[in-house]
Amino acid sequence: MFTASRGFFMQQIDFLKKRAENPALAPLAMRMTPQALEEFAGQEHILGAGKLLRRAIETDRLNSVIFYGPPGTGKSALARIIAKTTSSYFVETNAVTIGIEDVRRIIKEATARLEAESKKTTLLLDEIHHFNKTQQDALLPHVERGLITLIGITTENPFFYVNAALISRSTLFEFKPLLAEHLRGILERALKDDNLGLGKQKVAITDSAKEHLINNAGGDARRLLNALEVGALSTQRSKDGIVHFTLEVAEESLQKRALLYDKSSDEHYDHASAFIKSMRGSDADAAL
């Protein structure tokens, strides 16, 4: 809680400021966070041209929303893009680290800000599913009268973890796992970016390594970039100063081995044989 550990909170703020001044302190996944809607990958079903959410962000007319979906799909990244485009005062926090007293303090400051500056407050509340009913109820009246514009983020089903009353006052947007084409674009951008990515690291990555990272990231851009970073930084450079990022490095980085399969060679028949034998043996897990 801020009230109980304000010193720790201020240390966090100082760290964030230092990280903003020196991006090298941040992990690759954080450094490659999109800074504008034009850089955002995926979620065309809610952010495509003319879609409601995109129109609301571009016109700064966003009402309270809840972003939900699997990790690494851009929920927090989009919230930070909103922070840069909105004219309202932006407060970012996490439901794990604050309590009811902190909520009351945020509301009190938002009220004073509105009275003194006629400026509304947008509250980004990450991991909102960790808020209990009492904490969520403390937000409810202020969301309802528009003092607070809430951006709730969760990887859980909001219909199970967020109060029905708060859901009814918010618009829900579901984020879906990123497609291979989105992950490929993110991967290529990270490899080529000289300032925030690995462009200066001289990483020579094989096509098979790329495909392995993309196909096994589970639609999670953060997982993809974390694997790329740990593989690139932990692999010893060759004599010519190049990091050779091979399929073996990709497998180690994701801790997931590639399946050998090629429809034009023996692997095709080996897989078919294994599948048939698993079915014959009534082993459903092996067959799957």
In a domain, 101, yes or no: yes
In a domain, 116, yes or no: yes
In a domain, 54, yes or no: yes
User: Which residue range is the domain that position 46 belongs to?
Assistant: 32-174
> Looking at residue 73, what is its pLDDT?
95
Comparing 18-22, 49-53, 162-166, the range with the smallest average pLDDT is 18-22
> Looking at residue 11, what is its pLDDT?
46
> How many domains is the chain partitioned into structurally?
1
Q: How far apart are CA 140 and CA 168, in angstroms?
A: 10
Q: How far apart are CA 213 and CA 257, in angstroms?
A: 10
Q: What are 155's two structure tokens?
A: 């990887």
Higher-confidence residue of 277 and 53: namely: 53
> Looking at residue 282, what is its pLDDT?
80
Q: What are 38's two structure tokens?
A: 């034009």
Q: Is the pLDDT of residue 5 over 50?
A: no
Q: What are 158's two structure tokens?
A: 């909001």
In a domain, 78, yes or no: yes
Chain mean pLDDT for the chain: 85
Q: Is the pLDDT of residue 20 over 70?
A: no
In a domain, 1, yes or no: no
Residue 92 belongs to a domain with what CATH number? 3.40.50.300
> Looking at residue 77, what is its pLDDT?
93
pLDDT band at 207 (very low <50, low <70, confident <90, very high): very high
> Looking at residue 24, what is its pLDDT?
62
High-pLDDT (> 70) share of the chain, %: 86
Tell me the mean pLDDT in the region 221-247: 92
In a domain, 136, yes or no: yes
Tell me the mean pLDDT in the region 110-134: 90
Q: Is the pLDDT of residue 2 over 70?
A: no
In a domain, 257, yes or no: no
Q: Is the pLDDT of residue 148 over 60?
A: yes
Please name which of 270, 269, 286, 268 lies closest in space to residue 278, comparing C-alpha atoms. Answer: 286
In a domain, 114, yes or no: yes
Comparing 71-85, 157-171, 241-255, 267-281, the range with the smallest average pLDDT is 267-281
Q: Looking at the chain, which runs of residues are DSSP E strands?
A: 65-68, 89-94, 121-126, 148-154, 171-174, 203-205, 243-245
User: pTM, whole model, 2 decimals?
Assistant: 0.76
Using alpha carbons, list the distances in angstroms from residue 287 to 267, 275, 281.
Answer: 16, 5, 9
Comparing 20-34, 47-61, 214-228, the range with the smallest average pLDDT is 20-34
Tell me the mean pLDDT in the region 219-248: 92
Give the angle subtended at the CA of 174 by the CAs of 223 and 186, to the nearest 5°: 35
